[in-house]
A = this chain, B = another copy of it.
Amino acid sequence: MASGDQPELLQGTLEVMVLRTLSRGASHGYAIARTIELLSGKALSIEEGSLYPALYRLEKRGDVESEWGTTDANRRAKFYSLTPRGKGRLKEQMALWEKLSTAVSHVLTREPTPGSVT
């Protein structure tokens, strides 16, 4: 923790956000980060030290594949795209997020049933 109080990402959510971003079309690291930040309404900030390792994980696992290309800004960049496998994974992970976040929300807001544990 220390001093820099940026809210840390909910561990495990970066991957699914990356997959989702790529499901809208191939993109490269830098752009993926900017896109996620934008879509989150600036609530999330994607650190490169987390993003690149995540990308490598996904590629190693066969969920994405990469190819070098050139960006709008005329710069060399590695473009990642979803593989069929990755599309499956995305679906999976979206469902999992839905399930888990709902579960957590329930715990935080639900009133306990009368017959609770003591």
Contacts and interface: CB of A to CB of B under 8 A. Distances in A.
A13 to B, nearest CB: 5
B96 A7 contact: yes
A2 interface: no
Contact of A44 (B8, B41, B104): B104
A106 B39 contact: yes
Contacts of A7: 96, 99-100
A3 interface: no
Nearest to A102: B43
Interface residues on A, range: 35 or more
Interface in A66-112: 71-73, 94, 96-97, 99-108, 110, 112
Contact of A100 (B43, B99, B110): B43
Interface in A8-57: 8-13, 16-17, 20-21, 24, 27, 31, 34-36, 38-41, 43-44
Interface of A: 7-13, 16-17, 20-21, 24, 27, 31, 34-36, 38-41, 43-44, 71-73, 94, 96-97, 99-108, 110, 112-113, 116-118
